[in-house]
A = this chain, B = another copy of it.
Amino acid sequence: MGAYQPLLGFRDFYPKNQKILNFLCQTVRKTATSFGFEEYSSPVLEPLELFTAKSGDEIVDQLFNFVDKGGRAVALRPEMTPSVVRMIGANYSAVKKPIKWFNIAENFRYERPQKGRLRAFYQFNFDIFGEDSCYADAEIISLIISIMRNLKLQDFCVRISDRELWVAFLRATGIAEDDMIPILSIIDKSERENPEKTRNSLLKLCPEYAERLYTQILNLKTVHSIDDLNEFLVNNRLKDSTEIQERVRKFQKLLSVLDDFKALDSVVIDFSIVRGLAYYTGFVFEVFDRELSSRALAGGGRYDTLAEKLGYQHIPAVGAAIGDVTLVDFLSKKGLLPNTERGLDCFVIFEETCRSFAFQVTNFLRNNGFSVDFSMHELSFDKQFKSAIDRNARFAVICGEQEKVRKEIKLKDLITREEIFLPLDKLVDRLHVGEAR
């Protein structure tokens, strides 16, 4: 046997798995289109500097990068955001706002493969450009929730937080601007780490504020509503900051829009979410399985400064991504994967003398959009029926001498075993009824 294998962390999609992927893509396409989003795509291979400009040189360790035969430093994309900002940035002024785009793309990261994380994975990306107001944030969150619901998922929750509010808390506490990003990074990690480690990291970074910050972090983790939040502000004497008041009002507005969109049931305030990446600038969120908070199913947030960072004009932006690996695991756990067994609509069974007639029928049915097959070898009726069942066909379409003379076919329902004779022009309607069951 041949010794070839896919690369470590890469997947072959045999038809059963491809059907699952296509089912996700169809649901995403349909839902995003209903929200007025348009699909785009971009090359899997990009100039390396597009990624280092956004994430710094450290990102290179996680990339599939190389120098091509023309001497260009290139990399397989690890995520869509730099590419979509490049596309939007190139002709932002010429386009009506807001721009609502979605994308289905494979991304590549040179990481150790583990449960829920591969080296090549699909992401569904959704972004709104050119809109400052929290309606854009609400649209993105509602869209993610609608996709989950259209997949029949219920036991998920969107944990929403606000980086701006975190920054305002830190500022009111007296933290220096330069320490903000490192502290947000400590908060991001705090959920997955030993509390002592978090405390030590804070002590190292800003000894004079560490204890107060540590208590605040613990307290904020218990805040799950606007009422909780106001109580926290009063208790921590943060209520008087105009900056904080402003962000709380915005948070309240976001939740009220989500309520209008009947999305509030799936949402919870959770300040332990800050998202690792440095470029988020406002509301951030992650979506989790309610029962098992393992790896996030989706995540996103506002990133109003990235376009400028990449050398384009100021472009307000909010986006989210869903990954295929954790999503399929979740659907599988809930028994919500589509039936990948579904086979042919029809298998055409014929006597050798009626081959032309049978092909005419096959052709007619295929042209009408049914999936149809037949045996390529001269087989007995019995063996042809066996093939029909092997191929999981819904109907057998029988073309024998008798049928050829009558200019009809015999349709056999392979589930009910019911048989009827039909002229070709009645067949399509009859099959559509069969489909609908």
Q: Is the CB of B310 within 8 A of A2?
A: yes
Residue in contact with A260 in the complex, picked from B42, B120, B355, CB distance below 8 Å: B355
A331 interface contact, C-beta 8 A:
no
Q: Which residue of B lies closest to A362 (CB)?
A: B261
Q: Which label, helix, strand, loop or mixed, suits the secondary structure of the A interface?
A: mixed
A215 to chain B, nearest CB (A): 39
Q: Which of A62-70, A204-212, A274-282 is the contact stretch?
A: A62-70
Given A76-B45, A120-B45, A363-B262, are A12 and B87 neighbors across the interface (CB < 8 Å)? yes
A214 surroundings in chain B (CB, below 8 A)? none
User: Would you call A329 an interface residue if the criterion is a C-beta within 8 Å of the partner chain's C-beta atoms?
Assistant: no
Whether A372 and B35, one on each chain, are in contact in the complex, defined by CB atoms closer than 8 angstroms, is yes
CB neighbours of A110 from chain B (8 A): 68-69
Known interface pairs A14-B87, A363-B262; A36-B371 also in contact (CB < 8 Å): yes
Contact A366 B146 (CB under 8 A): yes
> Which of A129-137, A405-413, A422-430 lines the interface with chain B?
A129-137
Chain B residues, Cβ within 8 Å of A13 = 40-42
Q: A30 to chain B: which residues have CB within 8 Å?
A: 369
A6's partner among B43, B66, B70, B261 (CB-CB below 8 A) is: B43
A133 and B46 contacting across the interface, CB-CB below 8 Å: no
**Which residue of chain B lies nearest to A146 when distances are taken between CB atoms in the complex?**
B366
Q: Is A15 a contact of B44 with CB atoms below 8 Å?
A: no
List of B residues within 8 angstroms of A391 by Cβ: 36, 96
A307 CB contacts on chain B under 8 angstroms = 2
Contact A45 B108 (CB under 8 A): yes
Closest residue of B by beta carbon distance from A44? B44
Interface size bracket, A side: 35 or more
- Decide if B371 touches A135 in the complex (CB within 8 Å): no
Chain B residue contacts of A42, Cβ below 8 A:
6, 12-13
* Contacting residues, chain B, for A44 (C-beta < 8 A): 44, 76, 106, 120
Q: Give the distance to chain B from A332, nearest Cβ to Cβ, in Å.
A: 19
- Please tell me if A11 contacts chain B, counting CB pairs below 8 Å: yes
Is the pair B3, A373 in contact by a Cβ cutoff of 8 Å?
A: no
Q: How far does the alpha carbon of A34 sit from the alpha carbon of B323 in the complex, in Å?
A: 31
Return the CB mask of A113-136 against B: 1 if under 8 Å, else 0.
000000010000000000101011
Q: Name the distance in Å between A235's Cβ and chain B's nearest Cβ.
A: 33
User: How many Å from the CB of A385 to the closest CB on chain B?
Assistant: 14
A59 touches B (CB below 8 Å): no
CB of A374, distance to nearest CB on chain B (Å): 9
For residue A53, which residues in chain B have a CB less than 8 angstroms away from its CB?
4
Within 8 A of B (CB), among A43-84: 43-47, 49-50, 53, 61, 64, 66-70, 72, 74, 76, 83
Which residues 1-39 in A have Cβ within 8 Å of B in the complex? Answer: 1-8, 10-15, 18-19, 21-22, 30-31, 33-36, 38-39
Bound-state CA distance A84–B10 (Å) is 15
Instruction: Check if A14 sits within 8 Å of B35, measured CB to CB.
Output: no
Shortest Cβ distance from A190 into chain B, in angstroms?
30
List, in ascending order, chain B residues with CB within 8 A of A34's CB. 365-367, 369-372
Instruction: Enumerate 27 A-B pairs (CB-CB under 8 Å) in ascending A order.
Output: A1-B89, A1-B90, A1-B313, A4-B310, A6-B42, A6-B46, A7-B43, A7-B45, A7-B46, A7-B68, A7-B74, A12-B41, A12-B87, A13-B41, A15-B101, A34-B365, A35-B372, A36-B371, A44-B44, A45-B120, A64-B68, A66-B66, A69-B110, A96-B390, A260-B356, A261-B363, A262-B363
